[in-house]
Structure 1
């Protein structure tokens, strides 16, 4: 599908098995942000997500953090990508790079912009040449928004956020460690009010997630790790009936 369905936005199903009716497209350029790799056609989202991204970029401009680089959101009618993501199916997920541009990028640069790693993956430590005040404030700004359900970052990035002296720390509960998110963070919004077919995710555990839970993610660096057995691929669940109709 190359075009959204008509009507009001409605997220249907779960974040990793659903679809999106009445999607809105994020303009490829706006105040303080740019969409990367637009040729993929993944810049559609629930209207609530599009509003959130505009609000976030406005906040970034006010704090003078730099130019926001927006990655994948969803396809015109949501559903599964052919590659790259298990979620992003209901228009309520978006990837935002932690690399902050100090100027608008050219069209050629946006097609093949290179990520800026915030973590030394092999050493399980932060890359202090790339990670700094701008990145920490960007994550805080996004997580403090009441529309946000979760933000996924690499465990080392979560550790850096935990170590900072914040005036208010309630938003840290939403910042969840997850492998792979070492150069970008993944924003997930709550099901919007009135979207009765949207299935919410269970709320994060109480607390800021900075204690034993975070420590449990750290790999044993001194011992040789056993090889993981190759797991059989599970059959993908059937999409909701509303989605089957929408995607036809």
Structure 2
């Protein structure tokens, strides 16, 4: 069994042991919200060095005051001066409002607003349904996502926005459409349309975009259907989950020296048989649980994040 298969089994067992925790975005994308979110209770000992950092960042309901500033890596960091994507725009609507995860670096907010306009113009969608971005100060989340910590990640539903204003109840309980066939070998032809390719291609062609993560079946469909210039496909990478949404990751913005960049993708379209074979192997499609499930990793503590994340937590709230 190769290394990626072993990693997948570890993630699977960790997910099960955590009751559906932070590693499988497919589940969190479909989790329903609530019309009556309750504030989290105060922490008994917030200075406990063993306390999970997600407990601290998850209790911050507003961003840190100051200019936008990204600290750390996508899966281990935080950010100051986050901007909120308005929950309703002319060509987008934010889903799962109770999570309060529509925060990001202004560059990501601007990209989503721009991309939603392209979805209307080029794909004929009324607009985009936007899922999780980041918490007000970034950092690890109480549920879902190992990444989304520095305001440079965002999930976009593969369900077109309806041509009407969704109710609050719909935004909390509506489910996205499954794009992958039951056998997981290809897309569902009853759900997938050429407009899905148009939207993903428009996102990948944005110069600031570093990666687009999709289910392997969606990557397979894009490889099959893309015509003309295919250079944008190099940014589109298969990833576990992502059956209902695609994940946009942008590059570190200029003027953020503490932001840790990701290695640029290989300059190939990633559509060769060897590129996709692993994702459609039996070990991935039908994984067997390990005989002895590995123990879940302990959650990230504040001391394991970049040092300046302490200042981000301690900073006063930005005025909104």
Q: Equivalent residue for 1:231?
A: 294
How many correspondences in the alignment?
A: 247
Residue 164 of structure 1, CA deviation: 1.3
Q: Out of 145, 166, 176, which is 1:85 matched to?
A: 145
Any residues of structure 2 matched to 1:175-186 within 5 Å, and which? 175-186=236-247
- Rounded Cα–Cα distance in structure 2 between residues aligned with 1:73 and 1:107: 18
Q: Is residue 244 of structure 1 aligned with residue 305 of structure 2?
A: no
Q: Is residue 170 of structure 1 aligned with residue 231 of structure 2?
A: yes
Any residues of structure 2 matched to 1:108-119 within 5 Å, and which? 108-119=169-180
Residue 121 of structure 1, CA deviation: 4.5
Any residues of structure 2 matched to 1:1-248 within 5 Å, and which? 1-63=60-122, 64-104=124-164, 105-211=166-272, 212-220=274-282, 226-229=288-291, 230-237=293-300, 238-248=304-314
Greater per-residue strand proportion:
1
User: Could you tell me the TM-score, scaled by structure 1's length?
Assistant: 0.94
- Rounded Cα–Cα distance in structure 1 between residues aligned with 2:78 and 2:61: 14
Indicate conservation of the 8 Å contact 2:93/2:161, yes or no.
Answer: no
- Rounded Cα–Cα distance in structure 1 between residues aligned with 2:69 and 2:239: 27
* CA offsets 1:144-184 (integer angstroms, 9 cap, x no match): 10010000000000000000142111110000000100110
Q: Whose Rg is larger? A: 2
- Rounded Cα–Cα distance in structure 2 between residues aligned with 1:99 and 1:65: 9
- Rounded Cα–Cα distance in structure 2 between residues aligned with 1:224 and 1:94: 28
- Rounded Cα–Cα distance in structure 2 between residues aligned with 1:179 and 1:197: 28
Indicate conservation of the 8 Å contact 2:184/2:217, yes or no.
Answer: no
Greater per-residue helix proportion:
2
* CA offsets 1:214-242 (integer angstroms, 9 cap, x no match): 22211228x97543352222344511110
Query: In 2 relative to 1, CA 49–216 (structure 1 residues): closer, same or farther, beyond 3 Å?
Result: same
Indicate conservation of the 8 Å contact 2:177/2:191, yes or no.
Answer: yes
Structure 1, 210-219 or 85-94: larger mean CA deviation: 210-219
CA RMSD of aligned residues (A): 1.7
Structure 1, 144-153 or 204-213: larger mean CA deviation: 204-213
Where in structure 2 are there 5+ consecutive unaligned residues?
1-59, 315-320
Secondary structure of 1:159's match? Answer: helix
Structure 1, 138-147 or 5-14: larger mean CA deviation: 5-14
Structure 1, 101-110 or 32-41: larger mean CA deviation: 101-110
User: Could you tell me the TM-score, scaled by structure 2's length?
Assistant: 0.74
Where in structure 1 are there 5+ consecutive unaligned residues?
none
* CA offsets 1:79-107 (integer angstroms, 9 cap, x no match): 01011110000000000000013312222
* CA offsets 1:132-153 (integer angstroms, 9 cap, x no match): 1111111001011001000000
- Rounded Cα–Cα distance in structure 1 between residues aligned with 2:115 and 2:69: 22
Structure 1, 226-235 or 173-182: larger mean CA deviation: 226-235
Structure 1, 57-66 or 135-144: larger mean CA deviation: 57-66
Which one has more relative contact order, counting CA pairs under 8 Å at least 6 apart? 2
- Rounded Cα–Cα distance in structure 2 between residues aligned with 1:172 and 1:123: 21
